[in-house]
A and B are shown apart, each in its own frame.
Chain A
Amino acid sequence: MANHIGTVVLPGDVLKDIKPPDGSKKLLLGPGLVEDGDVIKVCKPGILRYRDPGVYWLDCHQKRYVACKGDQVLGIVTQKNVDMFRVDIGCSELASLSYLSFEGATKRNRPDVKVGDVIYAKVLVANKDMEPELVCIDSYGRSSGMGVIRGGGFLIHTSLNLARKLLNPQCVLMKALGNRFKFEIAVGMNGRIWLNTQNDVQTIAIANAIFAAEYMDNDQITSMCKKLSRVMSGME
């Protein structure tokens, strides 16, 4: 078991030694792994990861988003229907978002959403046979940060890997950038990132820093941010 963890596995590989941990019957398989009879098969190229108790998944590099329940995503409103919006979240079809799933929305009090608006929402239904459904409220009916993003800003598209990396609490990029620049950011699990800064120069600089961070470790990120702030202070 231990010899596979951290190594690269490819589609078609059979992982014979993955078994539930002692004392329990449960085994949790994440993305990239499928159960085929008694054995576990790999269906995507990626690095095998493990976490106690009995959770296995693959870290794969992917650009295309496939909707997953509970993910917080950034989408663009592309259509308005009678009782719902159609939102592009980057997966194979448009997601639906009901008028009523906003904080404080009622049948009479409709949310102010226009076509082209950027929305930060949570995936409520994700099923391969159904279109994904979004909501902008939590289970208590509060917005908790979700909803239409206003006030300009800039939307960039990255790989899903990079989005996950930024959201990882161990990643220092946000902290390192936040110490030096004033900016607002929203990262969606679908690889879309919304940025808002004081001026265009900073927006471009931060966007480039994010793209550059994809293949860097924490030390490299820290030194890059230092360099960036030095260059930026010379420009203003």
Chain B
Amino acid sequence: MAAFTVVKKEDLEAQQKEESVQSLRCITSELGPLTQPDGSAVFTQGDTTALAAVYGPADVKISKELIDRATVEVIYKPKVGLPRPVDRKLERIIKNTLEAAIMALNHPRSLISIVIQETESLGANLACCVNAACMALLDAAVSMNFMVAAVSAAVTDKGEIILDPVSRVEDEARAVLTFVFDSVDKNIVTVITSGQFSQDEYKKCLYLTKQACDNVFSFYKDSLSKKLLKSA
């Protein structure tokens, strides 16, 4: 494995053109399926589905209160049973990602609570949860610096890169990488990886996911336009 080869950007792009064009699985969503929270969204990528609800800016417990910013809280509810340490990790990742996106300084001493219910986890669950949470925040009209979009990629044993993998591919893959991008400069907000991969595999994944995140952002825009123009 070429662990530290430097790949020229032009070479990489040429290589990408040769490979078959990959795209994300079909994305669908529903804004505001729940009536009680301030904002909610169902986000589906292929067969993976997550339901997110946002409460906030709301009242915060004194123990969690931050004097200069809003407390961001993410609660992940698995399909069955109580949250396990794996789910806690997921909560932490999503929380750190969204804290960067939310303008927490605008609402000091308040709580922005995001509850994510796993509905169907069939590949790229983390990406789906991040996207669902972002849509729910948009539905609740919480002040944000930028939007976020997450895209997963899997590296198979043969070194192939598969975008937005289904769970079977994810299980067999040598490595799974999830990238979260912001909507302004398409910079990386979060990277979560598992497994082994070389540097150029990482770069390839980054290149492919960065291109695919535009689809997610344009999807956000379409669904919000639909909602907002309806009420106008």
Contact = CB atoms under 8 A, between A and B. Distances in A.
Interface in A47-61: 47, 59-61
Contact of B224 (A10, A12, A32): A10
B156 interface: no
Given A63-B39, A64-B56, A66-B57, A215 B230 contact: yes
Nearest to A161: B231
Contacts of A45: 138, 141, 224, 228
Interface string A1-22: 0000000101110100000000
B109 interface: yes
A10 B220 contact: yes
A10 B138 contact: yes
Contacts of B231: 61, 161, 214-215
B221 A62 contact: no
Interface string B40-80: 00000000000000011111100000000000000000000
B107 A61 contact: no
Given A8-B221, A92-B60, A92-B110, A47 B183 contact: no
Interface string A56-80: 0001111110100000000000000
A43 interface: yes
A25 interface: no
Nearest to B134: A11
A215 B229 CA distance: 9
Prevailing SS type, chain A contact patch: loop
Nearest to B143: A43
Nearest to B70: A92
B196 interface: no
Prevailing SS type, chain B contact patch: mixed
Interface centre among A43, A45, A215 (most CB of B within 10 A): A45
A64 B146 contact: no
A200 interface: no
A92 B141 contact: no
Interface in B7-61: 38-39, 55-60
B106 interface: yes
B219 to A, nearest CB: 12
A8 B225 contact: yes
Contacts of B227: 61
Chain A interface size, as a band, is 20 to 34
B106 to A, nearest CB: 6
Interface centre among A61, A93, A161 (most CB of B within 10 A): A61
A211 B6 CA distance: 60
Contacts of A129: 108-109
Contacts of B82: none
Nearest to A93: B59
B211 interface: no
B144 interface: yes
Given A10-B183, A128-B106, A44 B143 contact: yes
A132 interface: no
A66 B111 CA distance: 13
Contacts of B224: 8, 10, 45
Nearest to B31: A61
B232 A47 contact: yes
A86 B47 CA distance: 48
Contacts of B110: 92-93
Given A63-B38, A92-B57, 17 more contacts: A8-B225, A11-B138, A11-B143, A12-B144, A12-B183, A32-B143, A45-B141, A45-B224, A47-B229, A47-B232, A60-B141, A60-B228, A61-B139, A62-B38, A62-B140, A92-B58, A92-B111
30 contacts: A8-B225, A8-B228, A10-B147, A10-B183, A11-B101, A11-B145, A11-B146, A12-B145, A12-B182, A12-B183, A12-B184, A32-B141, A43-B103, A43-B106, A43-B144, A44-B141, A44-B144, A46-B141, A61-B139, A62-B38, A62-B140, A63-B38, A63-B140, A66-B107, A92-B57, A92-B59, A92-B111, A93-B109, A93-B110, A128-B107
Interface of B: 38-39, 55-60, 101, 103, 106-111, 138-147, 182-184, 220-221, 224-225, 227-232
User: Across chains A and B, which 5 residue pairs bring their CB atoms closest together, nearest first?
Assistant: A12-B146, A92-B110, A11-B144, A62-B141, A64-B38
